[in-house]
Amino acid sequence: MPTAHRGSLATTLLVLAGAVLWGTAGPASQFLYQGTDTSPMAVALLRLSLATPLLLLIAAPTLRRHAGQLRARARPVLLGGICIALYQVFYFQAVSVSGVTLATLTALCPVPVLVAILARLVLDERTMPIPWFGIAAASTGTLLLVGTPETESAPAQLILGAALGLTASLAFSGIALTGRALGDGMAPLTVTASLFLVGALTLSPTILFIPGAVAAAFDSWPTVAFLVLVPTVLAYGLFYGGVGRTPAAVTGILIVAEPLTAASLGWALFSETLSPLQGVGAALLCIAMVRAALQQRG
């Protein structure tokens, strides 16, 4: 039916738009590093603390409805919130060390592979197959990204950036696993707002140690506003507005738009380039991401 087709296309476009907007977070942070005296920790704190009230406002109706469920599942809420705080810190630190492209590829592409592994090891989900192809592709892709640079970056800098990105990937996998535990019967935005609140509270004590870096970020307040509104509040709203009515296989493919967007903006805005072998590594990471995501979603 034409109406059903339009609805399917519309929800698919919502998921795609959300993934694309998520990919602008790294470039936005890079603009802040280049234009101000802020720090990755300050950027992480600002993103969480300023976006959380808006997400809570949007999710308010469902938060009230699911308050009892959230209290009953306090442990995964706390763990997921801590993971979301750690992800922001390590991802934005990776961007500052190695640039948008390498940081985003190493932080996001291994996530479905890590989720599948952790689901078996930690949650004892024996029905989840071990993604051997994804493990091999992601490992090879990461080695090619770090070991065959196009730029004059020091090898130690690339290795540090990749290590930070992979640590961010591990934290993101924790978000995904706790989100799975919380998502049963609750709206995704309810879960997201709850985790952001815990994440913001987790990082809030850092303001005592980096007040200057936090204040410096507002020298480029339009960029701060963009980071909070576009790749955070708007992106989550669009993605979750469509993901429930988009086929899982399609979603598994569309999420690759996030690292591809970040890599494209890294090239266009900051002249970040990949060597041919790094390009192969990036492709392997994206393939591993799609393959593992599709495998998990059935």
Q: 11 pLDDT band (50/70/90 cuts)? A: confident
Confidence (pLDDT) at 151: 58
Residue 24 in this model has a pLDDT that exceeds 70: yes
Note the pLDDT of residue 1: 37
Whether the predicted model's global pTM rises above the 0.95 cut: no
Number of domains in the chain: 1
Per-residue pLDDT reduced to its tens digit, 164-182: 999 999 999 898 888 777 7
pLDDT band at 4 (very low <50, low <70, confident <90, very high): very low
Given a contact cutoff of 8 angstroms between Cβ atoms, the answer to whether 144 and 281 are in contact is: yes
Residue 71: is its pLDDT beyond 80? Answer: yes
Looking at every residue in the chain, the average pLDDT score rounds to 86
Q: Which domain holds residue 283?
A: 2-296
Average pLDDT of the residues in 15-23: 92
What is the mean pLDDT of the segment spanning 82-87?
96
